[in-house]
Each structure stands twice: as C-alpha cells, then as structure tokens.
C-alpha cells in the first residue's frame, strides 16, 4: 500500500471537463493506495477575487458585487453538471453563498475604509480554494468515491507574513497527521484547499501566488507520502520550449537540482523552494498531465538515479542586458568587483550570471534589462575617479542579451559536451558573448544576442538525449 498526494492546479479543476478528468484519475488509482488531493481555485478565480478587493479599495463599490455574482454562477453551473443529488447541491450552495457573503462583506469594509491590508487580502484571495475544494469533494462523492473537503487552515500552520507566509513545519506535521490519517485509513480522499494556511491565532494566510504547489509539497512531506504527483496541463518537463523547438520532447527522469536550474533559467517548472520539503525527505516528485493521464510524465529524483552526463534540456532567459566594466588599470587592483556588485545590489537588481576574464581587465555580468540604464549610471558614478584616470575605460552596456542555459547533471565534467555545444553554435555562426558554469554544477550558460536566441536553442537541442533508452518505472 502506498500513500500518494495529487495536486491539481487551476486549469485542472477549472471546468466540468477538467474536474471529470480529476475524478477519473482518482478512480483509476490502485484501490489499495491511499490518496490525498490538493486543489487550487478554479482558473482565474484568484485573480477575480483580488480584482474585487483592489477595485473596492480604489473606491469602486460595484465591481466586487458583480464579481461575486459571476463566481456564484460559475460554481453553481459546474456543480449542476457534476452532482446529481439535489441535497448535495443544496449543501454546497449554502457553503458557496456563505463564502461569497464573506467576500462581499470584506470588500464592503475595504470600500468604506478605503484601505486594503495584506491580512484582508489573504482572507479574500484564499476564498477561491475554499469555494473549490467542497465542489471537487462533492463531485467525487457523486461518482461513489468517499471524499471530504478539508480547509488547510486546519493543517498548515504558518507565520504571519501575509501574502507570503512560511509554514511552521513541526506544528503542521502534527496537524496533518491528526487530521488526515483517520480519513486516509478509512479510504476517504481528503480534498485539501491549496494556497492557504493559518497563523497560530487562526488568521488566514497564503503562501504566495501559485502557492498550491507548495501546499502539496508541505502536506506530502508531513504525511511521509510515497510520492507527490503534480498534475498540470502539459505532459511533463520538456527538453525545450515547444514554441521555439517544435520537436521538444518530455524528459522522463530528471534530478532535483536539474529542476532547480531549469526553474532559475526561466523554464515553467516548479520553483525549487516549492519542492524542497520533498527533496529533504527524498520523496519522489512526479509531473503528469491531467488531460493525458496515461502518459508517464516526468519523475524527479536524486541525482545519481536520474542519469548523469547527458544534456537534458536547453532553455533561454530573455529581456536581459550585459554590463561590462573594463579597463587595463583594473589589473591587480583589489575591490573593483566588490564595488561593482555592491552598487548593483544597492539598486536591488539581481545578477543572473557573472564572468571575469583571468587577465582581470574586465568584469561582465547579466541583469534584467529593466535595471540596465540605472545600473550603468550608478557604476559610472561609483568609478568616476577611475574613469577620469583612465584606469577604467568605461561601463559598457549590451542590451538585448539572452542567456541560453544547457542543463544536465555532470555535463560540466563530461569531456566533449562543452565542445559539442560550441561546435553546434559555430555551425550556425552564432556569436557567444560570455560563458558561465551554473550555480549547481549541472548547467552551462552562454550569453548570445536576442536575435540569435531561438536559433541557438534550436542548434543545441539535437544534443539533448532523454527518451531513447529510458523506461520509466511507475510507482
């Protein structure tokens, strides 16, 4: 017997058809297994709730009312399609009305006060999940599957950083075990609200936008689950962005740190922080497609188990600028790098990549383009004396830069891989402006012109090797 946690995002529970797929996935699970599911709000609902709050704060007393109407209708229609029992539907409707009543009351006071606190915002944005979990639970029951909606305020204890709360793991673990074990043992599926938690004094908090993934990881870790499956709208982690590379394939096995690198370099995968509770306990993470559940998807696991020395994926992060501080007078002068990055940090610009020539005659780094002019001006001011003395030639800005990152554990230490990457780019006459090795030993990053970015990704993509010899062991 295994214990699995399934997480369904907004699109996976955003329509009658989607909830239908969710029900089939739960029904087709091995009967002996215990299953807990974590759900997001229906797609678009969190945004609508937030819009209600913000318009109310801005003096608009009508928009939140019509949002409440729309949300009532959407949940009601979905319930009608999925739930045959009138009694179940009535109970659900009472709950929906209660939650939307809370929404309009909160928005009303925000409107009157003209003030929106982070605490009120959390109470409002958490309503989307609170509306949806009872609906999904009732839809499961309508198909004969024992299920019960659980409000995560009873499970996930957090600090009081509203809008971006952090879980208190020990208390959470205790609450999760106490609340969920009896249900799981009775083979009742808990349908848990993602995204939200509560402070010790009971105030609703949220874990940040997109936080339902984190909820699933926290609950999976607290339950010592055998596996956590994130159901998305794609078949798994891909070798490249399919809009750039039509032949992109699914990577069936990938390591936790490779996922981290992909997330950092712009691929739409889970944020590393999100899966950390699972990594800590070595609980396998699985990505699957709600709308293609037979497809094996991507399994994320420890490094050695996922294959070393192969290129898994290539990704590009765009809208960047490269800044170079250069000059012969920098040679052997301590402190230039420190002053450069202190200046950058003061402006709160995050640095994505750094490279310094060993001759010490230049330092170059890559930042988001939105900071470029400001950073250049600040560096020119910082080094005004050095520039006047001509120790530093100047601060040069190259706009329109893109970092292309090649991800694969062990690729840096596997002879020949870097050579093949450079040869592929050379064959396409793509100029490389800078090179850096990734932060976690499993990536190689290159800076190219924005105009060359797509072609660079396509040139490197044939070097990815993933599916050919892999067979996926389904747990």
For binding to Mg ion (CB under 5 A), which residues are involved?
Answer: 9-10, 40
Which is closer to ligand ASP, CB of 210 or CB of 410? 210
| 128 part of the interface to ligand ASP, by CB under 6 A | yes
Contact indicator for 457, 451 with CB cutoff of 8 Å: no
- Cβ proximity to Mg ion, 213 vs 261, nearer residue: 213
Shortest Cβ distance from residue 369 to ligand ASP (Å)? 26
Residues of span 211-230 touching ligand ASP by CB under 6 A = 211-213
Q: State the DSSP code for 238.
A: B
CA angle 75, 153, 1 (to 5 degrees): 90
The residue number with the shortest CB distance to Mg ion is 10
Q: Does 410 bind ligand ASP (CB under 6 A)?
A: no
Among 26, 41, 124, 395, binds ligand ASP (CB under 6 A): 41
Identity of the residue, 230 or 371, whose beta carbon is nearer to Mg ion in the bound complex = 230
Q: Which does 195 bind (CB under 5 to 8 A by kind): Mg ion, ligand ASP, none?
A: ligand ASP
Q: Enter the tokens of residue 154.
A: 């009873």
Q: Token digits for 23?
A: 């029900």
Q: Residue 40 interacts with ligand ASP (CB under 6 A)? A: yes
Closer to ligand ASP at the Cβ: 209 or 281? 209
Distance CA 120, CA 110 (A): 8
Where does this chain touch ligand ASP (CB under 6 A) — which range of 59-67, 208-216, 254-262, 274-282? 208-216
| 376, 378, 383, 385 alpha-carbon torsion, rounded to 10° | 120
Quick one: tokens of 264? 């950092």
Of 9 and 327, CB closest to ligand ASP = 9
Q: Classify 256 as helix, strand or coil.
A: helix
Check residue 277 for interaction with ligand ASP (CB under 6 A).
no
Shortest spacing between CB 357 and ligand ASP, in angstroms = 43
- Residue among 103, 162, 195, 264 that touches ligand ASP (CB under 6 A): 195
Cβ 40 to Mg ion, closest distance in Å? 5
Residue 41 binds: one of Mg ion, ligand ASP, none (C-beta under 5 to 8 A by kind): ligand ASP
The least CB distance from residue 224 to ligand ASP, in Å, is 23
Residue 284 makes CB contacts below 8 A (sequence gap 6+) with: 226, 227, 228, 278, 299, 300, 301, 475
Choosing among Mg ion, ligand ASP, none, which partner's interface includes residue 346 (Cβ < 5 to 8 Å by kind)?
none
Q: By CB under 6 A, what part of segment 46-105 binds ligand ASP?
A: 46
Residue nearest to ligand ASP (CB): 212
CB 188 within 8 A of CB 145: no
Part of the chain binding ligand ASP (CB under 6 A), chosen from 97-105, 204-212, 275-283, 299-307: 204-212
- Cβ 98 to Mg ion shortest distance, Å: 24
- The CB-side HSE value for 272 (13 A sphere, CA atoms) comes to 13
Q: Which is nearer to Mg ion, 51 or 339 (CB)?
A: 51
In the three-class reduction of DSSP (H, G, I as helix; E, B as strand; rest coil), residue 151 is classed as coil
Cβ proximity of 379 and 323 under 8 Å: yes
Return the number of the residue (131 or 392) whose C-beta is nearest ligand ASP: 131
Task: Identify whether the C-beta of residue 236 lies closer than 8 Å to the C-beta of residue 251.
Answer: yes
- When asked if residue 209 is in the footprint of ligand ASP (CB under 6 A), the reply is yes
- Whether 363 and 338 have beta carbons less than 8 Å apart is answered as no
In whole angstroms, give the CA distance from residue 255 to residue 307.
8
Nearest to 307 by CA among 469, 190, 142, 91: 469
Please give the sequence-ordered ranges of beta strands (E in DSSP) within 9-83, or none if there are none: 34-39
| CA nearest to 369, candidates 406, 298, 319 | 319
Using CA atoms, how far residue 96 sits from 99, 240, 254, 367, 414, in Å, is 5, 41, 41, 46, 57
The reply to whether 167 sits near ligand ASP by the rule CB under 6 A is: no
Q: Closer to Mg ion at the Cβ: 9 or 277? A: 9
Residues 107, 91: contact at Cβ < 8 Å? Answer: no
236 binds, among Mg ion, ligand ASP, none (CB under 5 to 8 A by kind): none
Which residues contact ligand ASP by CB under 6 A? 9-10, 40-41, 46, 128, 194-195, 209-213
């Amino acid at each position: 017997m295994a214990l699995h946690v399934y997480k369904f995002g907004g699109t996976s529970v955003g329509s009658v058809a989607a909830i239908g797929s969710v029900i089939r996935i739960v029904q087709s699970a091995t009967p002996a297994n215990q299953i807990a599911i974590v759900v997001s709000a229906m797609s678009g609902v969190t945004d609508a709730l937030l819009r209600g709050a913000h318009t109310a704060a801005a003096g608009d007393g009508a928009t939140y009312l019509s949002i409440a109407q729309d949300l009532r209708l959407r949940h009601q229609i979905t319930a009608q399609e999925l739930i045959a029992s009138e009694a179940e539907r009535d109970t659900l409707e009472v709950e929906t009305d209660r939650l939307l009543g809370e929404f309009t009351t909160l928005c009303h006071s925000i409107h009157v006060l003209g003030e929106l606190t982070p605490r009120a915002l959390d109470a409002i944005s958490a309503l989307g999940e609170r509306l949806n979990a009872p609906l999904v639970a009732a839809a499961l029951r309508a198909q004969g599957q024992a299920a019960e909606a659980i409000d995560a305020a009873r499970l996930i204890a957090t600090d009081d950083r509203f809008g971006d709360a952090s879980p208190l793991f020990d208390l959470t673990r205790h609450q999760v075990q106490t609340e969920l074990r009896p249900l799981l043992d009775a083979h009742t599926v808990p349908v848990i609200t993602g995204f939200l938690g509560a402070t010790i004094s009971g105030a609703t908090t949220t874990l940040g936008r997109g936080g339902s993934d984190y909820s699933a990881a926290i609950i999976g870790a607290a339950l010592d689950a055998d596996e956590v499956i994130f159901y998305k709208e794609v078949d798994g982690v891909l070798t490249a962005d399919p809009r750039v590379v039509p032949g992109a394939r699914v990577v069936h096995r990938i390591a936790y740190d490779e996922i981290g690198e992909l997330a950092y370099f712009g691929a739409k995968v889970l944020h590393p922080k999100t899966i950390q509770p699972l990594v800590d306990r070595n609980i396998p993470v699985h990505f699957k497609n709600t709308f293609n559940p037979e497809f094996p998807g991507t399994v994320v696991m420890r490094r050695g188990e996922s294959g070393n020395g192969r290129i898994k994926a290539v990704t590009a992060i765009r809208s960047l600028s490269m800044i170079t501080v250069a000059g012969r007078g920098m040679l052997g002068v301590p402190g230039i790098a420190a002053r450069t990055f202190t200046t950058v940090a003061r402006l709160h610009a995050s640095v994505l990549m750094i490279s310094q020539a060993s001759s010490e005659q230049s330092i170059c780094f890559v930042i988001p383009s939105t900071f470029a002019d400001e950073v250049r001006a600040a560096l020119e001011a910082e080094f005004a004396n050095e520039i006047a003395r001509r120790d530093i030639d100047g601060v040069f800005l190259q706009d329109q830069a893109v970092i292309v990152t090649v991800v694969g554990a062990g690729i840096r230490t596997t002879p020949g891989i870097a050579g093949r990457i450079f040869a592929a780019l050379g064959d396409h006459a793509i100029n490389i402006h800078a090179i850096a090795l990734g932060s976690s030993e499993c990536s190689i990053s290159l800076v190219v012109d924005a105009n060359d970015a797509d072609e660079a990704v396509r040139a490197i993509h044939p070097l990815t090797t993933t599916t050919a010899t892999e067979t996926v062991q389904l747990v």
